[in-house]
Chain A
Amino acid sequence: MAAMLEVNGLSKYFGQFQAVNNISFTVNKGDVYGFLGQNGAGKSTTLRMLLNLIKPTEGKILLNGTLIKEGSNFLLQQTGAIIERPDLYKYLTAYQNLYIFAKMSGIKTSKSVLMQQLQMVGLADRYNSKVKDFSQGMKQRLGIAIALVHQPQLIILDEPTNGLDPQGIADMRSLILQLSNEMGKTVIVSSHLLSEIEVIANRMIIIHKGKKIVEGKVSELLDPANTLVECNTTNNEVSKQFLLHTKWGNSVQLLQDKIRLTMNKDEVPALVSMLTNEGIQILSVQPWHSLEDYFLSLTNHQQHVEPFTN
């Protein structure tokens, strides 16, 4: 699958605080790409940097292989986005809002085309109602229509289900899948809920405290055969050298105070035996039964984590 969006070494400092730390990822054409992280992880900052709302401190962004220069509208011409929530002109009608943003997108349009957009998001019968009378779900759907008004290939949705009721969440998920499956759009959708990403995304990235933790296919990352195991021994360097020659060798990483590797969870006792037989004293072994456990641990314990590759 061809890469649509490539992000290399993106970082952002706000004064001394580093909000995003050297993040790289690739979004392929046709992906529904999940952007997962707890609140404050740096998701919105990263997405805002993609949209030129925030200037990156460093890093490169390429769209369809073209480097996006600072201040360039090239990416925006091919991107539709809702960041956080679609705040609209409450004193204007749904149609007027859509019309304004269509004009701002620099496209020639007609009432019938705009009405089709409203029809697609189920708001055609409310086109003449003022937005101040809309529910959050209706605003979100109007926001989607606005994001799509200039027929972009890439859609960026930042926490699109926030504040929605269960029906609104279901409708939004269905709309995102419709964008991908029926309209062939590439979608980046951020969330702090893995369960959300799991049902709509085919690929995903997890970021934590501004750093990339993992990126890959959702099906593979959530596969029980890919249990993440972290162990700490009295001599991690020696342990690493030993483990490199086992069948898990390809996944072995030496971190600051632990070794991380990926295996089937049934193989954890074998790992313990092998290390013990080698005369290595084990201080701790922590299997993360699934990526969900791992992600929840970040959310619950706010622990220091190192990125890993899959």
Chain B
Amino acid sequence: MWSLLQIELFKISKRPRTYIAFAAIAAIVLIFQFAFKADGISYVNLMLQGAGDTFELDKSKAINGYFMCYIILNTLLIQIPILVALVAGDAISGEANMGTLRLILTKPVSRTKLIGIKFIASVMYTIVLLIFMAMMALFLSMAIFGVDDLLIFRVKGDESQILQIAQIDVMWRYVAAFGYAAVALTVIAALALLLSVFADNSIGPIIATVCIVIACTIVSNINVPIIDKNIKPWLFTSYLVGWKGFFYIAVDADNVPIPGSMENWGAIRNSLGILLAHIGLFFGAAVFFFRNKDILS
């Protein structure tokens, strides 16, 4: 099992498309960091307009490494599924396209094990991508901008909120948020892998994955009661940004943030459960269809 995984990771590491995602993340993060280094105060002023004068803070300290990471995650974690699909969507279909799938399957390795290895490799790729993102967005930002309390601008219902989290209370939230993001992106990897089983070229499953994510995201953002109640709870895209829940700190009766707390841990737990169910569903379907697939390529 381990040697098969090593082989899979070796193959992924040798393919140029693997590095597209890393290059894209590096470029976007660096642009963000450059822009905020040059004129981050304007962004903070814009955000504070909604909060009026009720919140007093040192704006120069608002832009720090933690804040930068939050802004970058908020933007990038919507786009990362495309990058994950680039590799996971290619897992089976890429082999079929190259013609290597039939050669692999003439070797005495079970199909279940093979697709399991492909899935694990895709998940590992996703995790490495997130670690790289953490290095760039969090640690590099901390080095460039320093650290301080984290300010979160949040729209809740009809009102804007500013949440302040003490710097000592931030790092664990990022660890948890990246962990949550790994689970959310694993859903995308499992979906792309499932679609990959049906295709004999890489482009189809990658585009199909992206289209499904976009379509479901649009539905997840339609605020119509019937959709809110009956459809959104079952769409994985409704939970892709659930990582933010780790930063929604609970406050006491005097509106003072409670260190180490979260506003709604139950919702996060529920989201994780639904995401894991989607992973099981997509991966289980991928195994079923792959085991029964006639290899005609």
Interface residues of A in 196-220 (CB under 8 A from B): none
Chain A window 4-31, contacts with chain B (Cβ cutoff 8 Å), 1 for yes, 0 for no: 0000000000100000000000000000
Binds A, one of B102-110, B214-222, B266-274: B102-110
Interface flag for A113 (CB, 8 Å) = no
A53 engages B7 (CB within 8 Å): no
Interface hit among B155-163, B179-187, B190-198, B288-296: B288-296
A71 at the A/B interface (Cβ < 8 Å)? Answer: yes
Known A55-B292, A85-B99, A89-B98: A103·B106 in contact at CB below 8 Å: no
Using A48-B295, A100-B7 as known contacts, say yes or no to A106 and B109 having CB atoms under 8 A apart.
yes
Asked whether B106 lies within 8 Å of A80 as measured between CB atoms, the reply is yes
Given A77-B108, A83-B106, A86-B103; A103-B3 close (CB under 8 Å)? yes
Residues of A near B108 (CB, < 8 A) are 73, 76-77, 105-106, 150
A110 to chain B, nearest CB (A): 14
Would you give the 0/1 interface string for A73-108, flagging 1 where the beta carbon is closer than 8 Å to chain B? Answer: 100110111111111111110000000110111100
Interface check A274, CB cutoff 8 A = no
B124 in the interface (beta carbon within 8 A): no
B103 touches A88 (CB 8 A): yes
Within the complex, the shortest CB–CB distance from B163 to chain A, in Å, comes to 48
Assembled-state Cα–Cα distance A101/B106 (Å):
10
The interface residues of chain B lying within 8 Å CB-to-CB of A146 are 103
B106, A79: Cβ atoms closer than 8 Å: yes
- Residues of A near B229 (CB, < 8 A) are none
With beta carbons under 8 angstroms apart, the residue of B11, B99, B107, B296 that contacts A76 is B107
Cα(A106)–Cα(B99), bound, Å: 21
CA distance A295 to B22 in the complex (A): 58
* Residues 74-122 of B at the A interface (beta carbon under 8 Å): 98-100, 102-111
**Residues of chain A within 8 A of B106, CB atoms compared:** 51, 53, 76, 79-81, 83, 147, 156
Interface residues of A in 15-58 (CB under 8 A from B): 48, 51-55
Min Cβ gap A87→B in Å is 3
Known contacts A76-B107, A105-B108, A87 near B99 by CB under 8 Å: yes
Residue pair A83, B7 in contact (C-beta under 8 Å): no
B11-A104 in contact (CB<8A): no
Q: Are A53's CB and B102's CB within 8 A?
A: yes
Q: In the assembly, what is the distance between CA of A71 and CA of B104, in Å?
A: 15
A71 neighbours in B (Cβ, 8 Å): 110-111, 291
- Beta-carbon contacts under 8 Å, B233-290 to A: none
A residues within 8 A CB of B15? 91
Tell me whether A53 and B294 are in contact (CB under 8 A).
yes
Q: Does B128 contact A (CB under 8 A)?
A: no
CA distance A244 to B14 in the complex (A): 68
Interfacial chain B residues near A51, Cβ < 8 Å: 105-106
Closest to B96 in A: A87
Q: Cβ of B4 < 8 Å from any Cβ of A?
A: yes
| A104 B4 Cβ-Cβ under 8 A | yes
CB pair B100–A87 under 8 Å, yes or no, is: yes
- The residue in B4, B15, B103, B111 that gathers the most chain A C-beta atoms within 10 A of its C-beta is B103
Q: Which residue of A lies closest to B109 (CB)?
A: A104
> In the docked arrangement, what's the CA distance between A101 and B10, Å?
13
Q: How far in angstroms is the closest Cβ of chain B from A66?
A: 14
Chain A residues, CB < 8 A from B107: 76, 101, 104-106, 150
Cβ-defined contact, A73 with B103, below 8 A: no
A14 to B295, CA, bound (A): 12
Report the minimal beta-carbon distance from A180 to chain B, rounded to whole angstroms.
20
A87 near B105: Cβ-Cβ < 8 Å = no
Query: Which residues from B are CB-within-8-Å of A100?
Result: 7, 10-11
A51 to B109, CA, bound (A): 12
Cβ of A80: which chain B residues have Cβ within 8 Å of it?
106
Chain A residue with the shortest CB-CB distance to B105: A53
Min distance, Cβ A51 to any Cβ of chain B, angstroms = 5
* In the complex, residue of chain B having the shortest beta-carbon distance to the beta carbon of A47: B106
> Which of A54, A89, A103 is the one whose CB lies under 8 Å from B296?
A54
Docked Cα-Cα span, A103 to B6, in Å, equals 10
Nearest to A79 among chain B residues (CB) is B106
Shortest Cβ gap from A43 to chain B (Å)? 14
Question: Complex formed: what's the CA distance from A103 to B110 in Å?
Answer: 13
Which residues from A are CB-within-8-Å of B294? 14, 48, 53-55
**Residue among B108, B111, B295 with max Cβ neighbours from chain A (10 Å):** B108
| Chain A residues with CB under 8 A of B4 | 103-104
Alpha-carbon gap, A84 to B10, bound state (A):
26
Chain A residue contacts of B105, Cβ below 8 A:
51-53
The complex places the Cα of A76 from the Cα of B14 at a distance, in Å, of 28
Q: Give 8 pairs: A residue, B residue, CB < 8 Å, sorted on A.
A: A48-B296, A54-B295, A76-B106, A76-B107, A92-B14, A100-B11, A104-B4, A156-B106
Question: What are the nearest 9 A-B pairs in CB distance?
Answer: A87-B99, A53-B295, A73-B108, A76-B108, A81-B106, A104-B107, A77-B108, A54-B294, A103-B3
Measuring CB to CB, which residues of chain B are less than 8 angstroms from any residue of chain A? 3-4, 6-7, 10-11, 14-15, 98-100, 102-111, 291-292, 294-296
8 more contacts with CB within 8 A, not counting A53-B102, A83-B102, are A48-B296, A55-B294, A76-B106, A87-B99, A88-B103, A89-B100, A90-B98, A100-B10
